[in-house]
Structure 1
Amino acid sequence: MDQAAGGTPQDAGTPPTCYRHPDRATGVRCTRCERPVCPECMIDASVGFQCPECVRGGSGTGHTPAASRPRTLAGGTVVTDPRLLTKILVGLNVACYLVQLAVGDRFTARFELIGQAYVPLLGSVEGVADGQWYRLLTAMFLHGSPIHIIFNMLSLWWIGGPLEQALGRARYLALYVLSGLAGSALTYLIAAPNQPSLGASGAVFGLFGATAVLMRRLRYDMRPVVALLAINLIFTFSPGFNIAWQAHVGGLVAGVVIGYGMVHAPRERRALVQYGTCALVFVITLALALVRTGQLT
């Protein structure tokens, strides 16, 4: 939270499961052998996806070796450690929190999100409206208490790992950063200018939104992620929790938009649509921040 050949036979009527991972339901099949494959096993082909066996068996896609390299669902490169960025992001958040504990409130006051206010610890008027735009980003890596960072990092680990694996590192990082920035921008726009805010929740809610889009794209059971998201939104708007709901809503909306662009982009224009969607979200985020800055200066 932000503070202020070979598949298992299927029974009729049951969703198919990946032939390599029988515990994973999937709506995607190899375009050559028609075996069901999950996001971890699907490899991008000229039309649809292929399973690892068909690719290794020299079935070919008509592309050069470089072009037929294994790809994630969203077109990213398949890597040996699909959770590397998630581990790095968790590490950065924990490292920043340790610095907060070591240095004290003066460090937090310098990098938390605040629109414009006199900060006694710094002895001056500080905030995004005074040109400290870095606060929109740095606030994403700060936390206000042990339970705050534990909750956010557990959510990041559970949701972020599978999403990084499905999108690829570059797309996953763009989703995380832009969702966090969108949450910061909406908080800056709506919250009182002297109300500080910090936390990774905007980015985490962006991952929630993108995960929902991905699960719908793969025809997975949506009930678990919808239930989890509903519980988080109930906490978000419950009185007494001191939560910056603007960061949650901004991150969620950005995550849904970016996630849709990532997983539904047509293959022939995939990069253009995906990064065009990211650029659009960034421009809207920047516009919100500029509007608020104009109101405060």
Structure 2
Amino acid sequence: MTRKPSRTSLLCPNCRRLISNDEPSCPYCGIRKPGSGLKNNAMVRGMSDPDLIFKVIIGINVVMYVASLVVSVLRGESVGLTGNPLSFFSPSNETLLFLGASGVAPINGLGYWWSLVAANWLHGSILHIVFNMLAFRNLAPFVMREFGTYRLVIIFTLGGTLSYLVSYLAGVDLTIGASGAVCALVGAALYFGKNRGGAYGNAVYRQVSGWVVSLALFGFIVPGINNWAHGGGIIAGAGLAWALGYLERKRESQRDKFLALLCGSVTAVSILLGIFTAATTMHVHIR
């Protein structure tokens, strides 16, 4: 029985160039020990794939939206099949509360601090999730291209969490949606355009400034919009972009990968806590 030879080359987990497996550091980007098991972890590698990250973020939002509708139906609650078209296919507030809606009520009343993360993945109607995912679809490719996929995960997750922290501190009672996280991407793009300057940077800044004006007008015209989360997300995104840097000035590092992995792990735990809480309360409700 012949033994297969061990792998002698690999793709650098940082710059994705082909290098020797036993290199002490990547000759292209300088990352130390590129062949180590931790740096080639499947989850870490997956976070470097822009298409995969894009699909995973949208996929989780869609799955959680469908799950909220299913839980509402199983609890015997209305899902907005009649009446206001803006609330068409709307999970019940009680279901959203247990799945991870954030705000003063769940945090102060139930101690659901994890809702600051989980609320970013919940939506209140079909139009709500469609609008947020379309905005994400427009912004995410730009942020991934200029900041990198790991930093996109960080900005989206931490920016959304900080937006809901601002919302909580402002006294908003109950809130959900990815708009705070999407606004963090707006803030990151705004910082990039202003900081980079030049013809390209100025063009980006002008275009993104239009987004900010539109968000402000939309927030004041349409009732029920969480302007605190939108404003908090923009400021958080700009601050995170400043702290992390963009690729033209600073390559993604092991710090970025660690933070992205941590954000992914905390998100998974928060979503699972919401599902467990909803399942438990649904069991009690049915009984």
| Alignment partner, residue 225 of structure 2 | 243
For residue 204 of structure 1, what is the aligned residue in structure 2?
A: 182
Aligned to 1:144: 124
Contact 2:150 2:256 in 1 (8 A): no
Aligned residue number for residue 228 of structure 1: 211
CA-CA distance at 1:270 after TM superposition: 7.2
> How many residues are treated as equivalent by the alignment?
203
Question: Which residue type is aligned with residue 250 of structure 1?
Answer: G
CA contact (8 A) 2:65 2:123 kept: yes
**Does the CA-based 8 Å contact 1:96-1:141 persist in structure 2?**
yes
Tell me the TM-score normalised to structure 1 length. 0.58
- Aligned partner letter, 1:242: G
Amino acid corresponding to residue 210 of structure 2 in structure 1? A
Taking a change above 3 Å as real, the CA distance of residues 169 and 190 of structure 1, as seen in their structure-2 partners, is: same
Deviation at 1:214, TM superposition (A): 2.0
2:119–2:175 contact (8 Å) kept in structure 1: yes
Task: Name which of 217, 226, 235 aligns with 1:253.
Answer: 235
User: C-alpha displacement at 1:130, in angstroms?
Assistant: 3.5
Contact 1:128-1:136 within 8 A present in 2 as well: no
CA apart distance, 1:102: 1.2
What amino acid sits opposite 1:159 in the alignment? Answer: L
Percent identity over the alignment is 26
Q: Report the CA distance between 1:153 and its aligned residue.
A: 0.2
- Determine the C-alpha separation between the residues in 2 that align with 1:80 and 1:245: 32
CA contact (8 A) 2:120 2:178 kept: yes
Alignment match of 2:67 (pick from 89, 94, 99): 99
Cα distance per residue 1:127-175 (max 9 Å; x no partner): 3454211111111111111111111000111101221232222221111
Of Structure 1 and Structure 2, the greater helix share is in 2
Compared CA separation, residues 218 and 160, structure 1 to 2 (3 A): farther
Distance 1:228 1:148, change over 3 A: same
Q: Which runs of 5+ in 1 are unaligned?
A: 1-43, 46-54, 57-62, 117-125, 280-297
| TM-score of the pair, normalised by structure 2 | 0.60
In the other structure, the counterpart of 2:101 is 112
Q: 1:185-231: CA deviations, max 9, x gaps?
A: 01111124xx2111001100000010122233163212222112211
Residue 245 of structure 2: SS of its match in structure 1? helix
Q: Is the 8 A contact 2:188 2:240 kept in 1?
A: yes
| 1:60-209 map, 5 Å | 66-69=26-29, 81-104=49-72, 105=92, 106-110=94-98, 111-116=100-105, 126-128=106-108, 130-192=110-172, 195-209=173-187
Gaps of 5+ in 2: 1-13, 32-43, 73-91, 263-287
CA distance in 1, matches of 2:101, 2:158: 17
Distance in structure 2 (CA, Å) of the matches to 1:133 and 1:241 = 26
Describe the shift of the 1:214–1:70 C-alpha distance in structure 2 as closer, same or farther (beyond 3 A): farther
Closer, same or farther: CA 82–218 of 1 in aligned 2, 3 Å: farther
The 2-side partners of 1:258 and 1:187 are apart by: 18
Task: Flag the 1:87–1:134 CA change in 2: closer, same or farther, 3 A.
Answer: same
Q: 1:214·1:259 contact (CA, 8 Å) conserved in 2?
A: yes
Alpha-carbon distance in structure 1 between the residues aligned to 2:158 and 2:151: 11
Letter in 1 for 2:124: G
* RMSD over equivalenced CA pairs, Å: 3.7
* C-alpha deviation, 1:68, in angstroms: 1.3
1:112 aligned counterpart, secondary structure: coil
Q: How big is the shift at 1:176?
A: 0.7
Once residues 153 and 168 of structure 1 are traced to their aligned partners in structure 2, the CA distance between those partners, rounded to angstroms, is: 20
